[in-house]
């Protein structure tokens, strides 16, 4: 007798040619029926070439008959394109954005990803800031290269794992001076590779660290993946808030419609190393609250400016990993509040759709 659970286990061990993940987690198996010595099911093969379908059929049949040599295996291939979406194995895709550079967006992205991991989630971090990739430095993986593997004749990229999260960055693929000269179509192609050719595992959250402003990268992303929500990063300064509003307005365009779930105000106050009880609001105050009001969202966090936060990022061990540092709690609370607001967003709003965008965005 064939065991239904065993068949599911076998299918979980077979990779989907499109994503590199298993057929079960990608929800490509339907109408599974087991009776006596027979098993039948359908596989959604949308986007697969005929040669790949043949290889997949052979792989499935071989694995099942290894376990059940006398089994009758009936495999139907379907092409229900509407059921297949990019990164289907990722529950939530969060874009972290800012209106201008220098506000600590990458520091926020990295510590948010690790904060969510500390809360027990499965997390990925995509460095989409192709002009100035800093995630490799902040995670201490500057000298690492992602592994390239072959799946059904196609090259796939395996993300680098560090501190329990999965990450990909152009900074781990090309030299920094090469990254800054990337332009236009090449940028879009790299982002699509990060989405379609990287073998992301099942994730609760994929954090995407965007470049500042608006431009080709942001537009390519909203055309390629359904971004669940965006988090805006600003400082208390009026100029940072003004630029953040411009960036935020791109997400709020009717044909993009990505919800803003909250604002992170970074560098809210400076804490001197020798006087940790002191707070100096050197960049003013109120910017985060003003942006939260403008976006009709909430203030997720006010983060201090502390020398050790900068040092931790430079040394490749983000501050949220330091259990003994006063700044850790700020980032953990930011992660908690982000998860809460995302849960509210998912309860109240329909899933974001991938859209065709016909707008001009300027940084």
Same domain, 176 and 232: yes
Q: What is the pLDDT of residue 223?
A: 92
Angle (nearest 5°) at CA 320 between 203 and 198: 30
Give the SS3 label for residue 322.
coil
State which of 54, 83, 112 marks the end of a domain: 83
Q: Does 103 reside within a domain? A: yes
Same domain, 15 and 111: no
Tell me, what DSSP letter sits at residue 280?
Answer: B
Q: Does 354 reside within a domain? A: no
Q: What is the pLDDT of residue 358?
A: 54
Q: Does 281 reside within a domain? A: yes
What's 272's domain CATH number?
A: 3.40.50.300
Bridge partners, 264 (sequence order):
233, 301
Q: Does 297 reside within a domain? A: yes
Is the model's pLDDT at 363 over the cut of 50?
Answer: no
Among residues 112, 115, 192, 108, the alpha carbon closest in space to that of 157 is found at: 192
Same domain, 79 and 203: no
Same domain, 70 and 99: no
Q: What is the pLDDT of residue 362?
A: 45
Q: What is the pLDDT of residue 85?
A: 75
Residue 103: domain span: 90-348
State which of 23, 53, 83 marks the end of a domain: 83
Same domain, 113 and 179: yes
Instruction: Name the H helices within 210-327.
Output: 216-224, 238-251, 287-295, 307-315
Same domain, 23 and 138: no
Count of the separate structural domains present in the chain: 2
Query: First CA to last CA across the chain, in angstroms?
Result: 63
Asked if residue 259 lies in contact with residue 342, where contact means CB atoms within 8 angstroms, the answer is no
Is the model's pLDDT at 49 over the cut of 50?
Answer: yes
Q: Does 362 reside within a domain? A: no
Pairing type for strands 123-127 and 203-209 reads: parallel
Same domain, 154 and 275: yes
Is the model's pLDDT at 333 over the cut of 90?
Answer: yes
Same domain, 275 and 218: yes
Is the model's pLDDT at 155 over the cut of 70?
Answer: yes
Highest-confidence segment of 48-52, 73-77, 151-155: 73-77
Q: Does 304 reside within a domain? A: yes
What's 53's domain CATH number?
A: 3.30.300.130
Q: Residue 100's CB: how many other CB atoms inside 10 A?
A: 21
Q: What is the pLDDT of residues 68-119, one digit of tens each?
A: 999 899 999 988 755 567 898 999 999 999 998 889 999 999 999 999 999 9
Q: What is the pLDDT of residue 77?
A: 92
Q: Does 186 reside within a domain? A: yes
Same domain, 200 and 240: yes
Same domain, 12 and 128: no
Q: What is the pLDDT of residues 180-194, one digit of tens each?
A: 555 556 788 899 999
Same domain, 50 and 121: no
State which of 83, 105, 124 marks the end of a domain: 83
Give the SS3 label for residue 305.
strand
Same domain, 181 and 54: no
Q: Does 196 reside within a domain? A: yes
Least confident of 136-150, 305-319, 344-358: 344-358
The residues near 49 (Cβ < 8 Å, ≥ 6 apart) are none
């Amino acid at each position: 007798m064939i065991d239904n659970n065993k068949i599911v286990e076998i299918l979980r061990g077979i990779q989907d040619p499109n994503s590199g993940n298993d057929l079960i987690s990608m929800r490509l198996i339907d109408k599974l029926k087991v009776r006596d010595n027979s098993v039948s099911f359908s596989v959604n093969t949308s986007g697969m070439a005929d040669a790949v379908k043949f290889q997949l059929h052979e792989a499935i049949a071989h694995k099942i008959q290894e376990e059940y040599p006398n089994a009758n295996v009936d495999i139907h291939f379907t092409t229900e394109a509407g059921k297949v979406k990019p990164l289907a194995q990722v529950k939530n895709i969060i874009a972290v954005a800012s209106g201008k550079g220098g506000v600590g967006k990458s520091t926020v992205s990295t510590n948010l990803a690790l904060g969510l991991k500390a809360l027990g989630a499965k997390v990925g971090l995509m460095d989409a800031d192709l002009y100035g990739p800093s995630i490799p430095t902040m995670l201490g993986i500057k000298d690492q290269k992602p592994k390239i593997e072959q799946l059904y004749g196609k090259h796939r990229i395996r993300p680098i794992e560090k501190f329990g999260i999965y990450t990909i960055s152009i900074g781990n693929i090309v030299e920094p001076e090469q990254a800054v000269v990337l332009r236009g179509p090449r940028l879009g192609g790299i982002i699509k590779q990060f989405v379609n050719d990287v073998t992301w595992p099942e994730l609760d959250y994929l954090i995407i660290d965007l470049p500042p402003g608006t431009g080709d990268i942001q537009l390519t992303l909203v055309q390629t993946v359904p971004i669940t929500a965006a988090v805006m990063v600003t400082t208390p300064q009026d100029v940072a808030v003004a630029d953040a509003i411009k960036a935020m307005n791109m997400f709020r365009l009717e044909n993009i419609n990505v919800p803003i779930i909250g604002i992170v105000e970074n560098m809210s106050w400076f804490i001197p190393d020798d006087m940790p009880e002191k707070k100096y609001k050197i960049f003013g105050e109120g910017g985060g609250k003003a942006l939260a009001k403008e976006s009709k969202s909430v203030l997720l966090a006010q983060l201090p400016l502390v020398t050790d936060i900068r040092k931790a990022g430079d040394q490749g061990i983000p501050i949220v990993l330091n259990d003994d540092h006063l700044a850790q709690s700020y980032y953990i609370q930011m992660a908690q509040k982000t998860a809460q607001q995302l849960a509210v967003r998912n309860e109240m709003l329909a899933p974001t759709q991938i859209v065709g965008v016909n707008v001009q965005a300027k940084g």
